[in-house]
Chains A and B, each alone.
Chain A
Amino acid sequence: MRRLLPLLLMLGASPAAAQPVVTSAAPDSVSVSAFRDPDRAEGGEIDPDWLQGFALISEQRTIDLPAGESVLRFEGVAEGMVAVSAIVTGLPGGVVQKNRDAALLSSASLLDGSLGNRVHLRRTDRATGKVTEEDAIIRSGPQGAVVLQTAAGFESLRCTGLPETLVYDGVPAGLTAKPTLSVTTRSPDARRVTVTLTYLATGFDWASNYVARVAPDGKTLNLFAWLTVANSNGESFADANLSALAGTLNIETPFEDLAEPPPQPRLDLSCFPTGSGRNGIQPPPPPPPPPAPMAGGYADESSIVVTAQRRQEKLMDVPIAVTAIAQLEDLGDLKLYRVPMPVTVAANGQKQVALLVKDKVPFQTIYRLHDCPRCEPKEQQTEIVLRMENKESGKLGVPLPSGQVAVFERAMGRELLAGEGMMRDHAVGETVNLVIGESGQVLVTADNYYAPGKGGDDYRLTATNANPFAVRIEFGFDVDDMKGLDSRIRKLPRKDGLPTWIVDVPANSARSFDYRARAED
């Protein structure tokens, strides 16, 4: 009797009581499309502690609808759901309204919702262990907790030094454990329907990681890329159709702001002072926050990141063998990579599948530097650039989404890390200039170089190569005003818009270039 009563009352109070509530606990099938963090710099990595990307989740759910108006509650959705983006299709009567309820059940909302109601004050005698329970009415809100009215008069909770607590008869209406999405619909008759729920959710991210292995001849490389998808939601998506989208989307409001529940009431347990000015019983400390997920705590530890050690053991001359490569399709101005088989996107987990495999890609190594004509660099190190043509003829010809690149070369019978760089988004047809490090062997120096009695506007640029092999150097002149430059600079070919001195320097040699650059008046 005592248990039943409040429940019935609660139902009576619920605004939705007039309509039957149908709860859909879990989807039958689900598709997850992951998007990169829109603010991440090109070539950036996933931060597993704070996933800033998002996903579009599409779920099929089978629901038995009653005739007439009913409320359909969706459970088992991602925690980071952006409720305002939710689209529900497949309802015969359409959607009358969509609600996200985020008044959360907590100690504060329980107290707040029970204001003026009868609760039970339970005390335990420390000496005898005897439990006494008496009825009380809550008279204060959560900000000034807690003043109770008992049979004896008015008392304060937990200012007495006695072990005491409140026991409630039921949960006030309208409080939920998690923010909950529901839709109101009107069905012409009772029937079983398949409903598609599509929504955006935070707590996802993906990145591509490239591994380039240089062939022994130093002229081609094998390019391999991982597609890494991470999910920091507490929900797992079993047997999901997984895809990842490359490209830059316009995002107006950070989705975190939309997914977060609004501020909730806070419980502020306070007491009058007791003892000689000491404060009374302090409010209990807040529960410790859940431990931050660490990289090592991910569900699938073996697949975390392609680490250098693992490569060293594995990467001999054997090419990386993969059974499934993500399938590429164009989606408007984005690139969609579809994982070809259903996979499980685990809660707080990271998953990797092959993104692309391109073997025997011809490349050129360039030593590159930019400076202005009168800047006189002294023993400047040059950037080491791997240059590939993203074309069919260059054995590539596929969109290359931005990501990190690790380059391996063989030395002393082992495969060693030779450089690391960032890849930006490259469309088909573009030239890939991959900066993988700086050279201390190939240097560029410029001197103000003139014979006695001549003007001071003559310069000599010298490129030195300490390597036992020939190198190609590209020195680009950053020019602000062409006027003071002589024809030797003006006639240079253009690279990326800059007049560029391109020179092949043989092994253990130097080459120089003379020019005149007058000071601007």
Chain B
Amino acid sequence: MRALTAIGLALIAGAVPAAAQGPAAANAQGQLSVTIYNGGQALVQDIRQIAFPAGRSRQEFPDVSAQIRPQTVSFAADGTAIVEQNFDYDLLSPNALMQKAVGETVTLLRINPATGVETRERAKVLAVNGGVVLQIGPRIEILRDDGLPVRVIFDKIPPNLRAKPTLSITVDSKGAATRAATLSYLTGGLGWSADYVSLYDEKAGTIDVQGWVTLTNNTGTTFDNARTLLVAGTPSARGLSGYGSSYRSYRPAPQQGELRRAGTETAPREQLGDYYLYPLAERTTIANAQTKQVSFLDVARVPAQKIYEFTLDGFDNMADPKSAASVIRFSSSAQGGLGDALPAGTVRFYQRDLRGDPQFIGESRIDHTPMGSDLGLKTGDAFDVKVKATVVSRERVSDRVWRTSMSYLVTNARPQPVTLDLTQRGLDWYWAETRILKESRKSERLDADGTRWRLDVPANGEVTVTATFETRY
């Protein structure tokens, strides 16, 4: 029985033309190098060994990225010259097959539903406009107009119908030889960003930071055993569309940027022009639909302080107190900082609870940050540190001059003293020329539009600041 089955199998196998590849044959990719940019695009270099016949031949390149930008393809091989390059996306489907069979002859295999008896006849496809019109000998018929089962067997597949979009290059080769051919192209669907795990120790005033590069492959193609290089930047003036490329344009401008002072130090990494390069240590397979993370930064006990920040946009009366933002500040400098340039990404903060387990306390996104920068990342709003601003009085002094007295109550329900930066904005509203007539504490005028008090609020205590502004409209 067993032997029989095996023979039967062999027979069937013999009848069918050999499959192009076994179920697990390696794909056609050669030596791969993949360079991935932040903006969701990548440069792929694929060195394949190709047996060129002498003279003109057409070479197909399967297993290139399904999101290839065919206009960016370049091809080079010794002793060959390119005649033309084609990207064909006329896809094979039953309907396309029938459309291309107009004027050709196909085989019909009718199956009698009652008896199972098969009848075979040849038919010419006259037209496919709505129904399929067939000529069988002298008769003209519509395919399966009676709804009975009919197998339509085509003799061949037209050469330009393909299972997938296919890149082909016609080359002229000097003599027949197997040579290395370098194919390179840009593709969408491959991008990367950074993810930072930052453990904050409030007592010690430090953070431990691990940086991971996260690369995402949504091309539909697996890149086998590729040498991978990540470029921290998008070398494009117009900001290419793609995964995670232009999130910033949808965000409202933050009240205060994450980057507090841009650094002027150079990180000890390879650079491409203005962009830092992050090579992966070894060849890796970037599977389709995969998110891959590789560590690039691991720093412990970097000094970090927590500060609270609150910004008022105008002279408004608040019926309820509002929470201040808790902000963790640290440096990316070599001295007392992370000591590296930071590629754009998301910083997730954790803090240990009383049992010592790390708990998530919030996240913040950073842009590409030079080494030596000061950062202030908001983790969230403080439950226990709040600000309540009240308008003590507002009077029109003259036609265009208003005088507003504000009172700010800062409360701290934490058992530790805290520092809060209280910023009053809206001073430069319209063409105003705002002066601070008097204030209970000296503030620092940031610019025409804002002024800031740095307040130390005692543990379980409160601080009140008052100020009178004169504004011209």
A contact set with B: CB distance below 8 Å: 1-2, 6, 9-10, 12-13, 15-16, 31, 33, 35, 56, 58, 83-85, 87, 94-104, 114-118, 125-128, 130, 134-141, 143-147, 149-157, 159-162, 169-170, 172-174, 198, 200, 243, 245-253, 261-265, 270-278, 280, 329-336, 399, 424-425, 427-430, 479-483, 494, 496-498, 520
Whether the Cβ atoms of A498 and B95 lie closer than 8 Å is no
A481 touches B163 (CB 8 A): no
- Chain A CB within 8 A of B12 CB: yes
A2-B5, A126-B113 known; 17 new pairs, CB 8 Å cut-off, are A15-B222, A15-B287, A115-B164, A127-B115, A147-B93, A154-B156, A155-B154, A161-B144, A249-B360, A249-B363, A253-B247, A262-B216, A280-B144, A334-B380, A428-B384, A479-B394, A497-B390
- Contact (A200, B149) CB under 8 Å given A144-B96, A154-B157, A333-B382: no
Contact of B16 among A118, A172, A274 (CB under 8 A): A118
**Which of A114, A251, A262 has most chain B Cβ within 10 Å?**
A262
Closest 4 CB pairs of A and B: A144-B93, A497-B390, A277-B130, A156-B94
| Complex Cα spacing A137 to B20, Å | 9
Q: A249-B363, A271-B94 are in contact. Are A429 and B19 (CB under 8 A)?
A: no
Of chain A, the residue at the smallest CB distance from B284 is A97
Tally of A-B Cβ pairs under 8 angstroms: 347
Q: Closest residue of chain B to A116, judged by CB?
A: B20
Cβ–Cβ < 8 Å partners of B94 in chain A: 144, 146-147, 156-157, 159, 270-272
The verdict on B447 contacting chain A, using a C-beta distance below 8 Å, is: no
Q: Is the CB of A134 within 8 A of B12?
A: yes
Centre residue among B131, B195, B225 by max chain A CB count within 10 A: B131
Contact B364 A117 (CB under 8 A): no
Check B323–A153 contact: CB distance below 8 A. no
Nearest opposing residue in chain B for A200, CB measure: B360
Query: Are A251 and B19 CB-contacts (below 8 A) given A153-B107, A274-B144, A483-B395?
Result: no
A333 contacts B379, CB within 8 Å? Answer: yes
Please, which residues of chain B bring their CB within 8 A of the CB of A16? 285
Q: Are A135 and B292 closer than 8 Å at their CB atoms? A: no
Asked whether A125 lies within 8 Å of B116 as measured between CB atoms, the reply is: yes
Of the A-B pairs whose beta carbons lie under 8 Å apart in the complex, a sample of 7, sorted by A's number, is A125-B111, A263-B218, A271-B95, A332-B379, A333-B385, A427-B385, A497-B318
Residue among B163, B306, B360 making CB contact with A116, cutoff 8 Å:
B163
- Are B153 and A155 in touch, CB under 8 angstroms? yes
Among B16, B142, B164, the residue within 8 A (CB) of A141 is B164
* Nearest CB in chain B: distance from A342 CB, A: 13
Chain B contacts for A428, CB-based, 8 A: 384, 413, 460
For B379, the chain A residues whose CB sits under 8 A away are 249-250, 332-333
1/0 per residue, CB under 8 A from A, across B16-45: the answer is 110111111110000000000000000000
Separation of A465 and B81 alpha carbons in the complex (Å): 98
Q: Measured between alpha carbons, how far is A15 from B223 in the docked complex, in Å?
A: 10
A274 near B131 (CB under 8 angstroms)?
yes
Interface residue? B259 (CB, 8 A)? no
Q: Which residues of A contact B390 (CB under 8 A)?
A: 494, 496-497
The stretch of B230-238, B345-353, B429-437 in contact with A is: B345-353
B59 at the A interface (CB under 8 A): no
- Minimum distance in angstroms from B121 CB to a CB of chain A: 13
**By the criterion CB–CB under 8 Å, are B360 and A33 in contact?**
yes
A84 to B407: give the CA distance in the assembly, Å. Answer: 45
Give Cα A12 to B422, complex, Å: 63
Check B293–A161 contact: CB distance below 8 A: no
Q: Which residues of B contact A429 (CB under 8 A)?
A: 411, 413, 460
B212→A98 contact, CB < 8 A: yes
Neighbour of B23 across the interface among A98, A117, A143, A146, CB < 8 A: A117
Which residues of B372-417 are within 8 A (CB) of A?
378-386, 389-396, 407, 411, 413-414
A429 to B112, CA, bound (A): 88
Least CB distance from B19 to A in Å reads: 5
Instruction: Give bound CA distance, A34 to B277, whole Å.
Output: 38
- Asked, given contacts A153-B154, A333-B361, A334-B380, whether A117 binds B22 with beta carbons under 8 Å apart, the answer is yes
Give Cα A103–Cα B364 distance, bound, in whole angstroms: 29
Q: Bound complex: CA of A208 vs CA of B72, how far in Å? A: 57
B263 within 8 A of A: no
